[in-house]
Amino acid sequence: MSDPSPLPERSRRVQEHLLAAGVETEIRVLPDSARTAAEAAAAIDCDVAAIANSLVFLADGRPVLVMTSGGHRADLAVLARSIGARAVAMAPPADVREATGQAIGGVAPVGHPAPLPTFIDSALQQHDAIWAAAGHPHTVMPLTFAQLSSLTAGTVIEVD
């Protein structure tokens, strides 16, 4: 019997990474896009602040992944200070896809061609469950803060 809602290829890669890391969670396929934190929160029925946005920035020209709470926006000056960079800018879509293998709106914290230096918004610690994209704009997964930190080897920082 086949799965009634098979995962998109990029989400299957994320799932493989989760399994290899020993993280038990279920990737959910949403009927509509969850490209924004507000869309994801509405689809999941959770607080927007519990959405872990996966944002790719160029820090001194090199891609980094920043997991931010959907409850606020990253301040580029604060972010630069927090990660020790002279300059930080949002990565263009082509750079995001090259660094992660995933499209903006569906970037997962893992499942990339190579690990990215990762920074995690300290505000995400306030939630028992946080929700992250799972490699595709229609897929999400619940994680604990500890799971996210362990999976990404991320450094906890202030982003605003």
- Among 10, 1, 3, residue whose Cα is nearest residue 136: 10
SS3 assignment, position 66: strand
> What is the residue whose two structure tokens read 């396929």?
29
Q: Which of 2-16, 37-51, 131-145 has the highest mean pLDDT?
A: 131-145
Q: Is the pLDDT of residue 2 over 70?
A: no
Write phi, then psi, for 53 (nearest 5 degrees): -70, 135
> Apex CA 158: angle with CA 152 and CA 160, to 5°?
125
> What is the residue whose two structure tokens read 């038990």?
24
pLDDT of residue 5: 56
Domains of the chain: which residue ranges? 9-157
pLDDT of residue 1: 39
- Give the pLDDT mean for 24-44: 87
| pTM exceeding the 0.95 threshold for the entire prediction | no
User: Rounded mean pLDDT of the chain?
Assistant: 92
- Give the pLDDT mean for 132-155: 95
What confidence category does residue 160 fall into, taking pLDDT thresholds of 50, 70 and 90? confident
Q: For a pLDDT cut of 90, what percent of the chain falls above it?
A: 80
Say which CATH architecture domain 9-157 belongs to: Alpha-Beta Complex (3.90)
- Among 54, 76, 49, residue whose Cα is nearest residue 65: 54
Q: Is the pLDDT of residue 50 over 50?
A: yes
Q: How many CB atoms are located within 10 Å of the residue 146 CB?
A: 9
